[in-house]
Structure 1
């Protein structure tokens, strides 16, 4: 899948349009750079990818295992210092769940595809078209 981001000066703002070919969304600069806070900034999108992937992975796994999960909430915050981007993820799972099931869900959270991508070796190749 390819994500396409588009911006044109005629828009009169810094908001870029994003699409994957079927869904569309928007992003803007961070508020400190003059962006509109009604739109996620690129770091919000990165953090939300981890939060969404974790939530969806846990949802599928819990259903498959028959765990009595009533609610899943995943929060991701980040900080940047000395060239390191640190993401802090907090997973809250509600339901009639034993400590062993919660431990199993934590293991699965750490294996969601976005977590594996972000914590593995990442390479970005850029070209001008």
Structure 2
């Protein structure tokens, strides 16, 4: 198995503000005030949507460039909700300021359904845990 990414989080104080290190990037995460946090950073599900939106835009931009299609300003709007059973639902709405044909849009929708992050979220991941020293 090849390791692709690493992340670590440090929890050093009261409340929910935490500092995350992903590769050489520093991020913060917190919960909104309504959930006992201070709202000083995106909440975990915000990063979940950010991950999917980033993969959506990057994958579609790569595909469009390969095909010679001009996406112009591309935008993906994502909304997360929970159904009555607690299952997560994410809906994406894609926008481009360029006049793409129906066939181009159909292909983009097919591609976006199979981005790497989409697949990981849809199909799940094997997540293991262990005690450290």
TM more than 0.5: yes
Over aligned residues, Cα RMSD in angstroms?
1.5
Aligned match for 2:67, one of 65, 68, 71: 65
Bigger relative contact order, structure 1 or 2, given CA contacts below 8 A and separation 6+?
Answer: 1
Aligned match for 2:87, one of 67, 84, 89: 84
TM-superposed CA distance for 1:50, in Å, is 0.6
Tell me if the contact between 2:17 and 2:40 (Cα under 8 Å) persists in the aligned partners. Answer: no
Q: Distance in 1 between matches of 2:80 and 2:45?
A: 8
Aligned match for 1:34, one of 33, 36, 55: 36
Task: For 1:86-101, list aligned pairs within 5 A.
Answer: 86-101=89-104
TM-superposed CA distance for 1:86, in Å, is 1.0
Structure 2 equivalent of residue 103 of structure 1:
106
TM-superposed CA distance for 1:21, in Å, is 2.7
Q: Distance in 1 between matches of 2:23 and 2:108?
A: 32
Q: Distance in 2 between matches of 1:69 and 1:56?
A: 12
Equivalent residues, number: 127
- The answer as to 2:23 corresponding to 1:3 is no
**Structure 2 counterpart SS, 1:101:** helix
Q: Distance in 1 between matches of 2:34 and 2:19?
A: 20
Distance 1:83 1:13, change over 3 A: closer
5+ long unaligned stretches in structure 1: none
Runs of 4+, deviation exceeding 2 Å: none
**Structure 1 counterpart SS, 2:89:** strand
5+ long unaligned stretches in structure 2: none
- The answer as to 2:23 corresponding to 1:21 is yes
Tell me if the contact between 2:56 and 2:115 (Cα under 8 Å) persists in the aligned partners. Answer: yes
